[in-house]
Structure 1
């Protein structure tokens, strides 16, 4: 993998991780469309570790929220009143929302890796993302805020996130749809979606890091990883700022149309 290829893929990752069009799907399709071929295990590790760049983008953008949640969470444990404060409760809800993806991801790791090798499967799941976004707009009443989220909402959104282990099913799209079908307004659904991405990305990065150590000639792979990481971090931060502003005024129909068009193009043109 060259530095230019790493830059392009890092840009794709950063822009599509938070915008609900499936970063994993784009990372499968972009090399295919550009005629780039990478070893399967190397491509999977690159994709997951470059997500750590977008993780840093979330940490920076929501640093005040995360600091308040973390301090309140541990303060509640120390005082043996884990649910006394709103921020502490939010910490527990984020943990609960993470569990479905962690359990399903560990049980289905090999199956997920195989799915990443098939552009056709990616095309099908891009269409599924489009359907989820349309359902969210039609079914969601958008009357609830972040403060209204309870454990049932958290689990529902968590299982929505587990769907996005497959390429083409957008993580942000699935969790936005999960939140909106529980009648959260769009900004609240997006904020919870981005916050709950933190533990999942950390866990995926740790697993991919272990796989990275098993690669031959690891040192030669580090410069492309660094370029991809930095590019994803910067573009991811920009994407978060833009999307939060966009969702305060617009629906998800634009992204649904894009996913549907891309999915159909993949199914019709890629062999």
Structure 2
């Protein structure tokens, strides 16, 4: 039952800029369940990334095969797929490097609900500012190396639950002037190496007799794949005609609620910060 619920939570929240990792920390607290931990959170996200691989298989194949051709052919390096392949590679480096350097903080201190509630509010406001002041005119073919690095740095902020990988990347994309749908689409593609890599790396920490061992992890991953596939289709259609304002309000409201509940002692914050 827990695995199914958390799989649904992961699938619903991964592609919406409200932070899936925050919800995987908050929901168990509200239901009186044990914290699934950073390893479970990382591995179950593989399910939603498999949904991305399936949904964007044509884009991924085009970029991947174009990049490989460029390794061996000077002429192929003139193609946009060669550049896009490199942009995804260099954009993935910040989260990989910081993820390895900050592993202990990610596993413990960053999962504190005081931190999560605060980041939900702060990054929600950042998304609101990006939505309000971003020009939203640049297509994907105007992406350059500088923007790829900046988008990668923004994605690295998602190492802190509550930030939201898609939310941080989309916010940066909007600030840089990219169209809303373009920023969203690129955020999905950029997340693939980081999420799959983190999930595979954390596989070694799954197991034991706790409530989130291999069985629940597999179930949660499968459920997150199914739900995530539906959410990708919905969010890409939604952002083509709607703003991110409802998600900003949700983030701020949820963050405030979490801080109030922790402050009132209704739920515990988790690990001790510092």
**Residue 112 of structure 1: how far off its partner (Å):** 1.3
Superposition map of 1:165-204 within 5 A: 165-204=159-198
**Residue 83 of structure 1: how far off its partner (Å):** 3.1
Count of residues in correspondence between the two structures: 263
Superposition map of 1:249-260 within 5 A: 249-260=241-252
Task: Give the aligned partner of residue 240 of structure 1.
Answer: 232
Given the alignment of the two structures, is residue 228 of structure 1 paired with residue 220 of structure 2, yes or no? yes
Q: Gaps (5+ residues) in structure 2? A: 266-274
1:133-164 deviations in Å (ceiling 9; x for gaps): 11211221011011111111101111100111
- Would the aligned equivalents of 1:9 and 1:27 in 2 still touch at CA under 8 Å? yes
Secondary structure of the 1:176 match is helix
**Residue 25 of structure 1: how far off its partner (Å):** 0.5
Out of 203-212 and 180-189, give the one that drifted further: 203-212
Aligned counterpart in structure 1 of residue 2 of structure 2, from 2, 5, 15: 5
1:21-55 deviations in Å (ceiling 9; x for gaps): 000110010000001014xxx53221111000001
TM-score of the pair, normalised by structure 2: 0.92
Task: Give the aligned partner of residue 67 of structure 2.
Answer: 73
Task: Give the aligned partner of residue 53 of structure 2.
Answer: 59
Task: Give the aligned partner of residue 125 of structure 1.
Answer: 119
Task: Give the aligned partner of residue 270 of structure 2.
Answer: none
- Would the aligned equivalents of 1:20 and 1:170 in 2 still touch at CA under 8 Å? yes
Q: Which runs of 4+ in 1 moved over 6 A?
A: none
Secondary structure of the 1:54 match is helix
Task: Give the aligned partner of residue 40 of structure 2.
Answer: 46
Q: RMSD of aligned C-alpha atoms?
A: 1.6
Kindly tell me: are residues 217 and 80 of structure 1, through their superposed partners in 2, closer, same or farther at Cα, counting changes over 3 Å? farther
- Would the aligned equivalents of 1:69 and 1:90 in 2 still touch at CA under 8 Å? yes
Kindly tell me: are residues 258 and 223 of structure 1, through their superposed partners in 2, closer, same or farther at Cα, counting changes over 3 Å? same
Measure, in 2, the Cα distance between the counterparts of 1:8 and 1:264.
23
Task: Give the aligned partner of residue 144 of structure 2.
Answer: 150
Aligned counterpart in structure 2 of residue 37 of structure 1, from 34, 38, 61: 34
- Would the aligned equivalents of 1:28 and 1:116 in 2 still touch at CA under 8 Å? no
**Residue 65 of structure 1: how far off its partner (Å):** 0.2
1:78-136 deviations in Å (ceiling 9; x for gaps): 11456311111111101111111111111111111123441121100100221121121
- Would the aligned equivalents of 1:23 and 1:170 in 2 still touch at CA under 8 Å? yes
Secondary structure of the 1:19 match is coil
Task: Give the aligned partner of residue 25 of structure 1.
Answer: 22
- Would the aligned equivalents of 1:21 and 1:129 in 2 still touch at CA under 8 Å? no
